[in-house]
Structure 1
Amino acid sequence: MPIDLVSRKEWGARKARGSYTALSSTKGVKVHYTGGRVDPAIVDDHAKCTGVVRSIQRQHMDGNGWMDIGYSMVACPHRKVYVGRGPGHLPAANGPGLNSGHYAVLGLVGDSGLVTPPDDMLHAILDAIDHLRDKGGAGKEIKGHRDGYATSCPGDKLYAWVKKGAPRPGSGGEPDPGDEKAPKWPGRVLKFPPIMRGDDVRTWQARMRERGWSLDVDGAYGPRSREVCESFQREKDLSVTGAVDQVTWVATWEKPIT
């Protein structure tokens, strides 16, 4: 599918202070994460993604003293790609002396909250890379920020995907070792009250039992299911809602830390 670009005007970008340094080609692209907490609620509310991008630009310009947001493009969990500095312009996020070698693409995940990139975010990162190859002369390399620079960026989840060759979701790429493949998101948030019933509830309850939680696998999402969900969300540093949204569902199948 064609790239779904969010223009600088559409996301309300501030005007850059000065002119960009031109960049005609690079060895490839480096993938980044925010390095802070990302509210998992952005998965269900695209408007919140726009707010995050604006806050990043504000931090880069007012906090770091940069002329603009440091990334070339930003990918969100709705398979939309925000134009940062864009193709043909030197980024600022890769580190001193490293910006001319690679464009910089940010995935909107962090080191807490939303840490596992949804499939549509991975698609968006790859859409951004294709765009930078087509419009900005980006080469074939896809690296993590930590490749060549001392940082935890882009986080263990994104970096594991990069190290596997950044496969398109559904393209037959190897699953993350240690994580079990989550059943397909059922498309509805499991919550109480009222009691919700169904096979999706039963599937989630069974997985939580496997993880060691005391919970009846009865297919009825009631008070006890909500309690377990709240405790699990605290454990995983997710928004504590007591409702199994898409982020909580995916986290349920991540390998428990032992």
Structure 2
Amino acid sequence: MYFLLTFILLYVISIVIGKFVKLPSIVSDIVVVILIFTISFWGGIEVSGSTILYVLLTSLATSLTIVVVTYFMGIFFTISGKSEWRKIDWKGQIKYLTPLILGLILGIFVKINVNFDEIIDYELYALVIVIGLQIGESLKINILKRISGLAVISIVIDVLGAVVSAILLSPFYPFKEILLTALGSGWYSYTGPFLAKYYGPTVGVFAFLVNFLREQLTFLLVPLFFRVKASPIGAIAVGGATSMDVTLPLYVDLLGNEYAIGALVNGLILTLLVPVILPLMVIL
């Protein structure tokens, strides 16, 4: 709760300052690259042991299913408002892919005992400050009114995507376990440990990787999907809870600042809901 309150406070303050201060884009790029590398490094360290290949492949297949189902469910919903969608800079995607690959490789081969939770907390603080400064420059009340519907619909799509994905994957996994994993909405640092407590470490690692890979696949696949069929709602729903922090820069790049606000609201609400939804689902 302390992290969440601090995160929101920094975001609000940064938005206000962003009305008066213009931040160079290179600063945002540096913060994002460092954060992706750190999380990927952590993920590489976690995938270890004799079952690494099996768990990694099944996690990837599961995450891919969730991402595809969730995105394309979003194409059935449209929103009104001024479009700020931007042409995809394919060269720019390298800035996300490179730290992802390097972090995973280093994490797999170099095992160190580091408190990643604390490190990532501070990196996310830095991220929300630079994003807040960027969004604060274009934030207007009329935009908030227009974009609120997008956030609500994207949350509905996120939940529906989890349910449909769990149904499709139920022949291969226990339905409740895969549903809880999908409802984690990309929040791997919570979903993995939580499910490990109730279903054992194997399920916990699986849930961690599925949601971790969902976050990374958001960076890699959403721009591709957008090229096939533009769906801002589907794109934001894929990001899930991460759309308010880690994947938020992607929405700024892809959709523009207006829809990035909707992405942040989507992620914030899901971040508040996931710790409530998962415990309730466990006891049902």
TM-score (norm 2): 0.25
Structure with the higher helix share, 1 or 2: 2
Higher strand share: 1
Higher relative contact order (CA 8 A, sep 6+): 2
Q: TM-score, normalised by structure 1?
A: 0.27
Larger Rg: 1
